[in-house]
Amino acid sequence: MSTAIDNRLDRRFTALKAAGRTGLVPFITAGDPAPELTVPVMHALVAAGADVIELGMPFSDPMADGPVIQHASERALRHGVSVAQVLEWVRAFRRDDAETPVVLMGYLNPVEIMGVERFAASAADAGVDGVLLVDCPIEEDATAAPLREAGLRRILLTAPTTAEARLQRACELAEGFLYYVSFAGITGAARLSVDAIAERVADIRKRSRAPVAVGFGVRDADSARAIAAFADAVVIGSALVESLAGSEDAGQVEQRVRTFLEPIRTALDR
Amino acid sequence: MNASSPVEDFHAWPDAQGRFGDYGGSFVAETLMAPLAELTEAYTRLRSDPEFVAELDRDLAHYVGRPSPIYYAERLSREVGGARIILKREDLNHTGAHKINNTVGQALLARHMGKPRVIAETGAGQHGVATATVAARLGLKCVVYMGATDIERQKINVYRMKLLGAEVVPVTSGSKTLKDALNEALRDWVTNVADTFYIIGTVAGPHPYPMMVRDFNAIVGREARAQMQEQFGRLPDVVTACVGGGSNAMGIFHAFLNDRDVRLVGAEAAGEGLSSGHHAASLAAGRPGVLHGNRTYLLCDDDGQITETHSISAGLDYPGVGPEHAFLKDAGRAEYLGISDDEAMEAFHRLCRTEGILPALESSHAVAQAIKLARELPKDGLVLCNLSGRGDKDVHTIAAREGIEL
Ligand SMILES: Cc1ncc(COP(=O)(O)O)c(C=O)c1O
């Protein structure tokens, strides 16, 4: 079984649980704000307290993303960022960081065009730990099978609209972590209703062996802390991407990462 | 049907997962899986509900104006000098295109499902107008997403939608055309799933849309097949239609799928030529991939990024195509050929001059294909061409292309 293969994600979540800490999972779009800044930003995120890095693979038609991540994708694509390039950045990151798990997030078409098997093998070889394909629900699981076979964790999503039978199945199939989308909407919107999320996440945690990360709508220390009361990890995307946009050099982008992420880390650990 | 070979029933698709062979499916964000299941359930129930069917038939007869006639284009055929060209006059429908066959059906569904708000994407504006029209009639709130580029080239339809009470939202992301309007409509739907019905305008998108939109348009082929028998005593040798997302083509093809002697030819937009890179011919020049919720042929680069398309006609300017067409292509049941901007323009003028019919630029691609096919056949041959819409919306584009200021 592929889950027997040692995986950084599993180790990291085991360690977090042992320490009684909530995981912090920042999302950035690979290649934004500039291609040469991606690896420095990844290291800066770790230095500022990230437990897992979610790296977005840019796509021309990001139908589940709001304007912030859409624009980040468009900027990255204007710089010619490809899937192969993203994998090279992960490989470069791994030279100095053998421990922090990296999850790639993206849409199916670039992966299909590369070939799912080839992608899975290259990603595992580059040091990727998990893959989240936004437009590949459990019904289309066969398409994603090569990911598991290569030892990568397939990160599944559940949402407020997910029906009972499908929720149960997602909880059974979950590995790495289960991503709970906190509201019906696109990335970057802000409509957190903490009580409703808490109830739903409690239900999911009872059924799923995999830890539960909550994303969509977490923007700052306050919202992160509210979610941390019941989730295993929080994912922060659009607000971070927005704060890094326009950075011109490594020094500036590292400073912005610290300013953005450190208060959130502190709030989670309080 | 041919008894010597195992006969496939082409009417058996899609399967329960919404697949047409390798194509179709539901490749969407998790949040949309529930509303898609709800829609599939409602549609499956209502399509066989006699009351719903009667209501739909009434609307098609009295509001849309069905059946639309078939018309033997005698002067055009004579000028071409080949087989007889028969036009299926979808341009005579209310709002001027086949698109209303689908919107009447989906809007009725929306009402039965208790959704007070409908949204749509549009390219040429025909689907947007057809949606705004039925929304006005049923008193539903209507929001139409349209690429900023298309808003510029289809001003008349934008104004028509506004007159009908719809809100037209310009989409400025990506290439600012139909595919981006579809992305934006999906984002709206994800955000407003509880009260919103998404009326997709073609046989693309996730299951059940390719099946449902085909079913609502299949009346075109059912009528035409019976009309051919009635007026010519036989089926046509070939049926042709333009293919953007593929709804008018699926609509007219469907009734003929199991008539294996009837050739089916889709006309895709070859733009400035298939080798120029400036075209929208996903089947003729694309490859299988996943876009907008289904696996199908699409136009993308080697890194899987969807490429910008070009066609003189906004309604064909789409980098994907309905999954059932992808399936029919691979099965060898239908062929898909490219018609260039210039060929479409020439056919446009020819139909205007010889028959007094001003076709939509989309439909002009089908007419150009019909002319080519007629030339290959003897004089008693029969080419059935879906005239999917009228060209009033395109007069500004045509005038501009010919350097005429209106
Ligand atoms: C008149 C007409 N024909 C054809 C099309 C193309 O769509 P489809 O391929 O779905 O029929 C359009 C789209 O706007 C249209 O307006």
- Give the bridge partners for A56, in sequence order: A29, A105
DSSP state of B236: -
The answer to whether the CB of B392 falls within 8 A of the CB of B95 is no
Is the minimum CB–CB distance between B231 and chain A shorter than 8 Å?
no
Who among B32, B186, B290 is closest to A109 (CB)? B290
Tell me which of B313, B336, B361, B364 to substitute to probe ligand 1's pocket, judged by most ligand atoms within 8 Å of the beta carbon. Answer: B313
Considering Cα of B282, then B284, then B289, then B294, what sign does the dihedral take?
Answer: positive
Helix (H, G, I), strand (E, B) or coil at B347: helix
Ligand 1 center–CA B281 separation, angstroms:
14
Which pLDDT value is given to residue B232?
98
Ligand 1 center–CA B315 separation, angstroms:
5
Backbone angles phi, psi at A166, to 5 degrees: -70, -35
Q: Is the pLDDT of residue B4 over 60?
A: no
Q: Which residues of A carry out catalysis? A: 54, 65
Residue type, A58: P
| Closest residue to atom 10 of ligand 1, CA basis | B247
Where along chain B do the CATH 3.40.50.1100 domains lie? Answer: 20-52+99-208, 65-96+218-402
Ligand 1 center–CA B364 separation, angstroms:
11
- Chain B: residue whose CA lies nearest to A160: B31
User: Strand pairing of A178-181 and A212-215?
Assistant: parallel
CB of B242 closer than 6 A to ligand 1? yes
Q: Could you give the CA distance from residue B50 to residue B52 in angstroms, rounded to a whole number?
A: 6
Which pLDDT value is given to residue A1?
38
- Chain B: residue whose CA lies nearest to A179: B30
Who among A107, A113, A181 is closest to B30 (CB)? A181
Is the minimum CB–CB distance between A158 and chain B shorter than 8 Å?
yes
Chain B segment 15-74 residues within 8 A of A by beta carbon are 17, 25-35, 37
Which pLDDT value is given to residue A2?
42
What's the CATH class of domain B65-96+218-402?
A: alpha beta
Model confidence pLDDT, tens digit, residues A211-224? 999 999 899 999 99
Chain B residues with CB under 8 Å of A108 CB are: 27, 290
Which pLDDT value is given to residue A188?
84
Mean pLDDT computed over every residue of chain A: 95
A vs B: CB pairs below 8 A: 118
What's the Cα-to-Cα distance from A125 to each of A121, A132, B266, rounded to whole Å?
Answer: 6, 17, 44
Select from B173, B180, B303, B306 the residue whose CB has the most chain A CBs within 10 Å, as the one to mutate to test that interface.
B303
Q: Is the pLDDT of residue A22 over 50?
A: yes
Model confidence pLDDT, tens digit, residues A72-101? 999 999 999 999 999 999 999 999 999 999
A141 burial (CB, 10 Å; 0-12 / 13-18 / 19+) is: middle
Among residues B102, B86, B126, B80, which one has the least CA distance to residue B247?
Answer: B102
Lowest mean pLDDT among A41-50, B81-90, B245-254, B392-401: B392-401
Give every strand in the sheet of B23-27, ordered side by side: B19-20, B23-27, B293-298, B287-291
Could you tell me the pLDDT band of residue B67, with boundaries at 50, 70 and 90?
very high
Average pLDDT in the B334-355 region?
A: 98
What DSSP string describes A219-231? -SHHHHHHHHTT-
Among residues A104, A22, A102, which one has the least CA distance to residue A59?
Answer: A104
DSSP state of B290: E
CB of B202 closer than 6 A to ligand 1? yes
Average pLDDT in the A9-34 region?
A: 98
Six token digits for residue A30: 């690979």
Strand locations in chain A (E): 23-29, 53-56, 102-106, 130-133, 153-154, 156-158, 178-181, 212-215, 233-236
- Other CB atoms within 10 A of residue A123 CB: 26
Is the minimum CB–CB distance between A186 and chain B shorter than 8 Å?
yes
Ligand 1 center–CA B155 separation, angstroms:
17
User: Which three-class secondary structure string do you get for B125-185?
Assistant: CHHHHHHHHHHHHHCCEEEEEEEHHHHHHCHHHHHHHHHCCCEEEEECCCCCCHHHHHHHH
Chain B residues with CB under 8 Å of A83 CB are: 303-304
B20-52+99-208 maps to which CATH number? 3.40.50.1100
Q: Could you give the CA distance from residue B93 to residue B91 in angstroms, rounded to a whole number?
A: 6
Spell out a b/e string for B247-262, using b for 16 or more CB atoms within 10 Å of the CB, else e.
Answer: bbbbbbbbbbbeeeeb
C-alpha torsion angle, residues B144, B149, B151, B153 (rounded to 10): -140
Six token digits for residue A231: 């989730």
CB of B388 closer than 6 A to ligand 1? yes
Is the minimum CB–CB distance between A88 and chain B shorter than 8 Å?
no
Could you tell me the pLDDT band of residue A5, with boundaries at 50, 70 and 90?
low
Backbone angles phi, psi at A176, to 5 degrees: 75, -85
Average pLDDT in the B194-212 region?
A: 98
Check CB contact under 8 Å for A112 and B27: no
Model pTM score: 0.96
Helix (H, G, I), strand (E, B) or coil at A114: helix
H or E element at residue B335? strand B334-340
Select from B27, B183, B298 the residue whose CB has the most chain A CBs within 10 Å, as the one to mutate to test that interface.
B27
| Closest residue to atom 7 of ligand 1, CA basis | B244
Average pLDDT in the B89-100 region?
A: 98
